[in-house]
Structure 1
Amino acid sequence: MVDKLNPLPPEELGPRLAEVYAVVGPLYRRAARVVEQETPHTGLSVGVRAVLERLEMAGEPETVPQIARSLELSRQFVQRMVNESLERGFVELDANPAHRRSSLVRLTEPGQAAIRAVQASEHRTLGEVAGEITGPEVDTTLRVLRRMLAAVE
């Protein structure tokens, strides 16, 4: 019988959370693939999507190093994704008064439209998950995943 009131001891918790890690990676990659296949008109790579989504979440322009830190990706990779986004008109560069050589990356209206289209498709796809998942179950899942994330920082 599952005890909902007492935390698992470390020797049981570790293996159980390892199971979560083993599911989260493939889940993310499969969901990203499905969304990419369902939205070929945007053609957003996972990297470009991550940059656009980060800028949308931030709500203000950020530098490449800021984006890289927040996404825990290399600055070089983020720079390549920003360059690709620039070519497609999804972002623009603004002068940075705080640092002459590090421009601010700003999401454009076409960039906002592209990321919103991908998110809408993803929300539709994920909304079809079977199993009658409840709000409290999602809340608990998020709480556990956020604790796991904080523990490995």
Structure 2
Amino acid sequence: MSEPLAPDALADRLTDVYVALGPVYRKVARIVERDQQIMGMSVGVRNVLDQLQRQDDLTVPQMARAQDLSRQFVQRMVNDARSSGFVEIVDNPAHRRSSLVRLTPNGQRAIDAVTGREHHMMGQVGGDLTAADLDATLRVLHHMRVALEAIEADTPT
């Protein structure tokens, strides 16, 4: 088993991760934007539907916090999803003034189609990757996110 890296070596290797992650993220975003006509929704609406599929009914503030986006942006995406018939707004028994957003059957079909297509594309990734490889990747990204959140919390605005 390898020893943990010293802080300077760790910083260098994590920089390599950031450098590699940026183009991958931008490539995925371009593919999703290009395929917007096929999907029938924007990237932002797609993210709202995916989040609701994974976590059930949520409020706009809950979605915004989980995605690290502004509440106003998420509200616009929810409004777009609602006007397309993908979501509905329902009463929230836990909070009178913050309604829940719920997938409609049409929204469920739409996100199932989109994620099914994405699943097919991701299945074409090569490299003989193992579950351990992916577990390690997720672990690294988790620790990077946690560290960045701590830095952000300590930075005066």
Question: Do both share a fold (TM > 0.5)?
Answer: yes
- 3-state DSSP of counterpart to 1:118: helix
Highest RCO, 1 vs 2 (Cα 8 Å, sep ≥ 6): 1
Q: Deviations over 1:69-114 (max 9, x none)?
A: 1111001000000000000011000012333332110011111111
Task: Give the TM-score of the pair, scaled to structure 2.
Answer: 0.86
Matched, 1:98 2:81: no
The CA distance in 1 between the partners of 2:25 and 2:58, in whole Å, is 25
RMSD of aligned C-alpha atoms?
A: 1.7
Matched residue, 1:118:
114
The CA distance in 2 between the partners of 1:119 and 1:39, in whole Å, is 13
Contact 1:39/1:121 (CA < 8 Å) preserved in 2? no
Matched, 1:7 2:11: no
Contact 2:78/2:87 (CA < 8 Å) preserved in 1? yes
**Greater fraction of residues in helix:** 2
Gaps of 5+ in 2: 150-157
Q: Could you tell me how far 1:39 is from its partner in structure 2?
A: 6.3
Matched residue, 1:40:
37
Matched residue, 2:155:
none
Matched residue, 2:60:
64
Matched residue, 2:52:
55
- 3-state DSSP of counterpart to 1:152: helix
Paired residues in the alignment total 149
Q: Could you tell me how far 1:121 is from its partner in structure 2?
A: 1.2
- 3-state DSSP of counterpart to 1:110: helix
Give matches, 1:79-94, under 5 Å. Answer: 79-94=75-90
Structure 1 vs Structure 2: percent identity of aligned residues?
Answer: 54
The CA distance in 2 between the partners of 1:46 and 1:14, in whole Å, is 32
**Match of 1:141, as an amino acid?**
T
**Match of 2:139, as an amino acid?**
R
Gaps of 5+ in 1: none
